[in-house]
Amino acid sequence: MQTEAGSFPTSLHRSGRILRRAMRDIHDSAARLLWATLLGATTVTTAVAQETPGTGIQVTQLAYSATMDDDITSVKDSFVSALEGRNYTIVNILDVQRALENRGIEAEPIVLVEFINLSKAYLVTTSDKRFELFAPLRAAIFGEQDGVRLLILRPKFIGDTLGQEHLSDPARAVLKEFDRDLRDVAETVRNGGF
Q: What pLDDT, on a 0 to 100 scale, did the predictor assign at position 32?
A: 45
% of the chain beyond a pLDDT of 90: 64
Q: Kindly give the interhelix angle for 169-190 and 118-127, rounded to the nearest 10 degrees.
A: 140
Measured between alpha carbons, how far is 4 from 11 in angstroms, rounded to an integer?
14
**35-49, 86-100, 133-147, range with the lowest pLDDT:** 35-49
The larger pLDDT score, comparing residue 174 to residue 18, is at: 174
The b-or-e profile of 174-193 (16+ CB within 10 A means b, else e) is bbeebbebbbbbbbbbbeee
Sheet hosting strand 137-144, strand order edge to edge? 50-51, 57-59, 63-68, 147-153, 137-144, 110-116, 89-95
DSSP code at position 70: S
Strands 57-59 and 110-116, bridge-based pairing:
unpaired
Per-residue pLDDT tens over the stretch 51-80? 554 568 999 999 999 999 999 999 999 999
Q: How confident is the model at residue 146 (pLDDT cuts 50, 70, 90)?
A: confident
Residue 3 has pLDDT above 80, yes or no: no
Q: Which residues contact 9 (CB under 8 A, 6 or more apart)?
A: 1, 2, 3
The band of 121, judged by pLDDT with boundaries at 50, 70 and 90, is: very high
